[in-house]
Structure 1
Amino acid sequence: MEIRNKTVVVTGAATGIGRALALAFAAGGARGVAVADLDGKGAQAVAEEVAKASPDCQVFAQQTDVADAAAVQALADAATQRFGQIDVFCSNAGIILRKGLDASAEEWQRIWEINVMAHIHASRAVLPQMLARGDGYFVNTVSAAGLLSQIGSAPYAVTKHAAIGFAEWLSITYGDRGIKVSCICPQGVQTRMLFGEDGERKGFLQAGSVTPEHVAQVTLEGVKDERFLILPHPEVLEYYQRKGQDYDRWLKGMRRLHDKVMAEFGGTVV
């Protein structure tokens, strides 16, 4: 898909990958970008940044809780009213929970709502108009954890696997009706999720981490090529292939990595 003259919605866009995606799509020639985030002030600040950098692009901000189906529908309605249609929906918002079996049922439910159900809410809100046109694109930010796993976070590993599963189903079910789907699956990205609010958190993924801007540029290239897997860290494909070739050997290797990471970083492993 060519980005020029397309309309784009980006959730989780006040910071990190979402902010970079909003700026990149606008710079790439999108005629409209909706900047959505639970942090309404942050979304507005990014919308102003996008408007300044790409004055020919229509842009607006909307506070949106992606865990709330009605809020996602309201976002889709607002973007459709502003732009006439939604060509690309970037379901980008996500959270991490650094726990295992000690995570409560309430914590599991919260991360499930944001990391999985948000993608489903987006599809329900936008798919009907895309199917009516016979054209549309979902760009879901997932994680390499969805293809591999996440050391130190059972809820993150499980929800990201589920997010990949839903994206696969969406592509299988609607791909021949003009609906494109891509999953962004990076490893470490230089955001607050990786480094913490104060920038002091240490973790094993930081060494090979990339900038949000790099993720956004790779994403635009992946969307242009209509690739299902968008991999800002190309080595993830090799790891995924090894997993498929010999699952038991891969699990042994992951256990060794787990022990090494826990010995070096303890409870802060991401």
Structure 2
Amino acid sequence: MDIEGSIAVVTGAGSGIGRALATAFAAAGAAVVAGDVDQAGLAETVRGLDSAVAVTTDVSTTDGITRLIDAAPGPVDLYIANAGITGAPGLGDDESDWDRIIDVNLRAHVRAAKLLVPQWEARGHGYFVAVASAAGLLTQLGAAGYAVTKHAAVGFAEWLSITYGAKGIGVSCVCPMGVDTPLLNGMVSSDDPATKLAAAAVRQAGEVLGPERVAELTVEAVRAERFLVLPHPVVLDMYLQKGSDYERWIAGMRRYQTALEG
């Protein structure tokens, strides 16, 4: 995809990977619409970006996504579904925990696609980026909601690519492990045992990257129209091991969890 001159929406742009993505796509020549619930964070993101506008909105809702699309200076070419939360630890305390994380980490992607894909199909081009996680290919210890929704986000991105790829609609799915963001740092500083376990699993599995590196690789993938973006190449090795012997992989993850708990 030619990013120069395009119009890109980036969700969760108030900090972390979202801020880095907004900056990187603006540097690549896109007019960026940055969305987040964090108004102060958004203001910091767009400061110094001449081609960016900030929209304070909740992108887990159709109305919130519509606000972002309507704020664009023209038809949206590229939608980067980055907003995400860790959710409640373990199985969660009640159904509202599950409703919230499913809305933010999964339904936000579905709702955006329902609004944009018909337009893109009519125009013959468009691009959707799902920022998921290595947890969507492997799993996440300590947090069922995060593991489940990230798997679902990967599955939805695959479906979009398969269904619309021959109709001019590109899809990339970004699956990093540890990234130095407020999300991960909040997990590290949590007093909850399951949350601390999840953070330890992420930090010990591989290098913790800066969000700028994830953004750089995402821009490269969109230019090349490449589906899977793995900022941590070791994830592919883990994924292949998982697929080659699922029982062994499950047993190994149990041992890893036990070691972290000890």
TM-score by length of 2: 0.92
- Consecutive unaligned residues in structure 1, runs of 5 or more: 52-57, 264-270
Aligned partner of 1:41 in structure 2 is 40
The 5 Å alignment of 1:118-197 reads: 118-196=108-186
The 5 Å alignment of 1:81-100 reads: 82=73, 84-100=74-90
| 1:190–1:211 contact (8 Å) kept in structure 2 | yes
Provide the alpha-carbon RMSD of the alignment: 1.7
Aligned partner of 2:200 in structure 1 is 203
The 5 Å alignment of 1:1-270 reads: 1-30=1-30, 32-51=31-50, 58-79=51-72, 82=73, 84-196=74-186, 203-207=200-204, 208-263=207-262
Task: Output the CA distance in 2 between the equivalents of 1:162 and 1:205.
Answer: 19
Which stretch shifts more, 245-254 or 7-16? Answer: 245-254
Which stretch shifts more, 139-148 or 198-207? Answer: 198-207
| 1:187–1:233 contact (8 Å) kept in structure 2 | yes
Alpha-carbon spacing, 1:48–1:199, altered in 2? closer, same or farther (3 Å): farther
The alpha carbon displacement at 1:251 in A equals 0.7
Which stretch shifts more, 139-148 or 58-67? Answer: 58-67
| 2:81–2:108 contact (8 Å) kept in structure 1 | yes
Task: Output the CA distance in 2 between the equivalents of 1:197 and 1:15.
Answer: 16
The alpha carbon displacement at 1:143 in A equals 0.3
Deviations 1:186-206 (A, max 9, x none): 000001111128968762423
What amino acid sits opposite 1:8 in the alignment? A
Deviations 1:203-257 (A, max 9, x none): 2423521000010011111112211110110111111111111111111111111
The percent of aligned pairs where both chains have the same amino acid is 49
The count of aligned residue pairs is 253
Moved beyond 2 Å, runs of 4+: 197-207
